[in-house]
Amino acid sequence: MKRRSSSLLMSLLIICLCLATVGATVAFLTAVSNSVTNTFTIGNITISLTETTGNTYPIVPGTEIGKDPRVTVKNGSDSCWLYVKLDASDTFSSYLSYTVASGWQKLEGYDNVYFRRVEKANTDNVFAILENDLVTVKDTVTEEMMSHISQNPTLTFSAYAIQQISVETAEAGWETLMAST
């Protein structure tokens, strides 16, 4: 009987030793990784619209008037759709004309809105709005026409931008901008 209990005790010790070995092995097979922290920041687009040539000009038939409106997408701004809107008064086209600078595309469905895609850059991106920085007074303007001007012709420039990351087309960007203003 003593032999049987020592054999039982020996068996129990072997089983405990096996379980301890398996437990220790399992402990060696575990690991913990480092943490990864994600920081989400607010996007950034900063634009400015400037002009240095003034804002009042005499109408002299057949002449060109120097105008230098510029829209700037500032350093560090996200990739964006950039728009310019040119609002001419009702009398403008009777006396004056202009051409939009190259690089701007006419926005489908709008007579006076132009756009371009601007990629993120580490410098300011400056874009001229008017071709050769000029507005032309038509040579067909006469003194008689000018004597009947009830409202001086005007041309107003506006600039807008929207992040391009979630806006697939220029049209969708413009619609989003107009819905939010």
- Is residue 43's pLDDT more than 80? no
Q: Which two tokens stand for residue 88?
A: 């001419």
pLDDT recorded at residue 163: 92
Model pLDDT for residues 106-161, shown as the tens digit of each residue: 999 998 999 999 999 899 999 999 999 999 999 999 888 888 888 889 999 999 99
pLDDT recorded at residue 150: 83
Model pLDDT for residues 165-177, shown as the tens digit of each residue: 889 999 999 999 9
Q: Taking residues 16-42, what's their average pLDDT?
A: 65
- Is residue 27's pLDDT more than 80? no
Least confident of 29-43, 57-71, 114-128: 29-43
pLDDT recorded at residue 61: 92
What CA–CA distance (Å, rounded) separates 137 from 134? 10
- Is residue 8's pLDDT more than 70? no
pLDDT recorded at residue 146: 83
How far is residue 51 from each of residues 65, 67, 129, measured CA to CA in Å? 13, 7, 10
For the entire predicted model, the pTM comes to 0.77
Model pLDDT for residues 66-101, shown as the tens digit of each residue: 999 999 999 999 999 999 999 999 999 999 999 999
Query: Residue ranges per domain, the chain?
Result: 1-32, 47-180
CATH T-level fold of 47-180: Immunoglobulin-like (2.60.40)
pLDDT recorded at residue 34: 79
Please list, in sequence order, all residues whose beta carbon lies within 8 angstroms of the beta carbon of residue 45, skipping any fewer than 6 positions away: 73, 77, 78, 80, 161, 162, 163
Task: Label each residue of the chain as H, E or C.
Answer: CHHHHHHHHHHHHHHHHHHHHHHHHHHHCCCCCCCCCCCCCCCCCCEEEECCCCCCCCCCCCCEEECCCEEEECCCCCCEEEEEEEEECCCHHHHEEEEECCCCEECCCCCCEEEEEECCCCCCEEEECEEEEEEEECCCCCHHHHHCCCCCCCEEEEEEEEECCCCCCHHHHHHHHHHHC
- Is residue 26's pLDDT more than 70? no
